[in-house]
Structure 1
Amino acid sequence: MVEASRPRRDPKGSKSVSKRALIVRGGWEGHKPVESTDLFIPFLEAQGYDIRIEGSPAVYADAGAMTETDVIVQSVTMSTIERAELEGLRAAVAAGTGLTGWHGGIADSFRASSDYLQLVGGQFATHPSKHPDEVAGAASDNFLRYTVEMTDVGREHPITHGIPDFELQTEQYWVLTDDLNDVLATTTHPAPPWHPWHRPVVSPVVWTRHWGRGRIAVATPGHSPEVLQNEHVRTIVERGILWVTRTASAS
């Protein structure tokens, strides 16, 4: 279902809005893309963004709209993307439009598109489950207690500076990535005997990426609005939006 665009402007009309944010949401409803992205609309408004909301990636094929967009906040889990849409997205980011998102809305989008996966620099592989005796056939089967650990790079980066290592009880994403990423935080998957891997595996939790003149920021926590309201997760997402937003040098 495609959602109509809804431009938002300064409610007082007292100043022009210089930054334009595009929220693209949809895909699998289990990640609550509408409720999750709605959490950040007040933040965007308070920061002076003019907000457009779309219910599919079709807008990516609109070159005029993309040229005017300073930051894309994407929450589209799985789903598909047409060639013209993907080409428009890649071109916009290369020209300076920022791209950010969380969890499956960016790291598990458009699985069939290798060019999209190259753009964002990571693809969800799995979220390991609890002990088989605890598995009950519910979403919570994959909710584990795990630690998000800041890297040396992350302790200095504007997105994660001052945020301590912290714990979450939610899906612990195992993500396939490449060397172009600057990893700001990681998590370590243990090797319990009921899973087939044989040693702990470190996976990125937060990373940034430069693509042409554009910036990308990805955070893997965010399975539900409740996770996004964790103070550290929310701070990472909000700072990520600001950090990827088109800069004057990218205009």
Structure 2
Amino acid sequence: MPARQHLLRIHRVRPLPELPAHPLTLTVGKPSARDLRSQVFRSELRNFRRVAGVTTRRAVVVRGGWEGHSPVEATDLFIPFLKENGYDVTVSDSTAAYLELDGVDLIVQCVTMSEIEPDHFKGLEAAIRRGTGFAGWHGGIADSFRKNVDYSFITGGQFISHPHGFTDYRVNVIADHPIVDGITHFDVHTEQYYIHYDPTNNVLATTTFDSHPDYPWIEGAVMPAVWTRTWGEGKVFVCTVGHKLDDLETPEVRTIVERGLLWASK
């Protein structure tokens, strides 16, 4: 774990809205339509912001671990969104931030293949249990602390493999939920996460695996790609898509993550 901790405080006063259901009609799967889809989703999020909200909330963004997941750049994509939605944001490059979570409404974590000190984990678990939201994407939340099985119990899933490496695959929405409202499916070219997951998760979207010459038995395996769950009084949101910045800028992925951040801290 990095010995140095850097904190950045960013203040905004715009209120956090509730999450109403706004149905969308859109065409997916055509790369040339990406900008149009993005405009549609941005319009929907503006509708969210026009809904009466509550007072300013506090978010802590913790980022670090393996640099291959671009933890700084990836979280920087979502900090402006949090500010626009009324969050007072603290950014840390150390899990020591989990020692001081009193009054925090949302934790956004992007830490991959790292380790967490026992007292840091204790602070994280206690905060989520008493109601702090916990959210993230890809290995930043689903492959953070492999040696800590209690952490995986909180998240409801642990990355095991991406057998095909970078591959084309479809994510299918299977639930009626504000986080995925108006999205039926979308296609990506990135890592397809094979997950060991908790059956109590509320799975919002899935992906189906093709056969692999070394692992032919995975053909047809359906894996959760987006899910929510609760831990005590806290809400947990996980999206397994997001290896590259380009993945997170895919309109459907970005919208799902943004909605997931709001949902986790409602």
2:112 pairs with 1:77: yes
> Which residue of structure 2 aligns with residue 92 of structure 1?
127
Structure 1 unaligned regions, length at least 5: 130-141
Helix, strand or coil: the match of 2:258?
A: helix
Helix, strand or coil: the match of 1:10?
A: coil
TM-score scaled to structure 2, two decimals? 0.81
Tell me if the contact between 2:13 and 2:56 (Cα under 8 Å) persists in the aligned partners.
no
Helix, strand or coil: the match of 1:197?
A: helix
What is the CA–CA distance in structure 2 between the aligned matches of 1:93 and 1:100, rounded to whole Å? 11
> Which residue of structure 1 aligns with residue 172 of structure 2?
149
Query: Cα 1:122–1:198, aligned 2, differ >3 Å: closer, same or farther?
Result: closer
2:229 pairs with 1:209: yes
1:17 Cα deviation after fit? 5.9
1:193 Cα deviation after fit? 3.1
What is the CA–CA distance in structure 1 between the aligned matches of 2:179 and 2:216, rounded to whole Å? 35
2:209 pairs with 1:189: yes
> Which residue of structure 2 aligns with residue 8 of structure 1?
10
Q: Percent identical across equivalent pairs?
A: 49
> Which residue of structure 1 aligns with residue 260 of structure 2?
240
Tell me if the contact between 2:10 and 2:89 (Cα under 8 Å) persists in the aligned partners.
yes
Query: Cα 1:19–1:193, aligned 2, differ >3 Å: closer, same or farther?
Result: same
Q: Deviations over 1:1-25 (max 9, x none)?
A: 334111111389xxx9620010000
What is the CA–CA distance in structure 1 between the aligned matches of 2:232 and 2:105, rounded to whole Å? 14
Query: Cα 1:189–1:198, aligned 2, differ >3 Å: closer, same or farther?
Result: closer
Residues 71-150 of structure 1: pairs in structure 2 closer than 5 A = 71-129=106-164, 142-150=165-173
2:82 pairs with 1:28: no
Query: Cα 1:198–1:243, aligned 2, differ >3 Å: closer, same or farther?
Result: closer
Q: Deviations over 1:26-65 (max 9, x none)?
A: 0000000000000011101110100000001111123xxx
Task: Choose the corresponding residue for 2:200, options 159, 180, 184.
Answer: 180
What is the CA–CA distance in structure 2 between the aligned matches of 1:108 and 1:77, rounded to whole Å? 6
What is the CA–CA distance in structure 2 between the aligned matches of 1:228 and 1:198, rounded to whole Å? 26
Tell me if the contact between 2:209 and 2:218 (Cα under 8 Å) persists in the aligned partners.
no
Tell me if the contact between 2:12 and 2:86 (Cα under 8 Å) persists in the aligned partners.
yes
Query: Cα 1:179–1:17, aligned 2, differ >3 Å: closer, same or farther?
Result: same
Tell me if the contact between 2:163 and 2:212 (Cα under 8 Å) persists in the aligned partners.
no
What is the CA–CA distance in structure 2 between the aligned matches of 1:57 and 1:229, rounded to whole Å? 26
Relative to structure 2, which stretch is displaced further, 70-79 or 156-165? 156-165
Counterpart AA for 1:74: Q
What is the CA–CA distance in structure 2 between the aligned matches of 1:243 and 1:100, rounded to whole Å? 9
CA RMSD of aligned residues (A): 1.6
TM-score scaled to structure 1, two decimals? 0.86
What is the CA–CA distance in structure 1 between the aligned matches of 2:198 and 2:109, rounded to whole Å? 21
Tell me if the contact between 2:129 and 2:231 (Cα under 8 Å) persists in the aligned partners.
yes
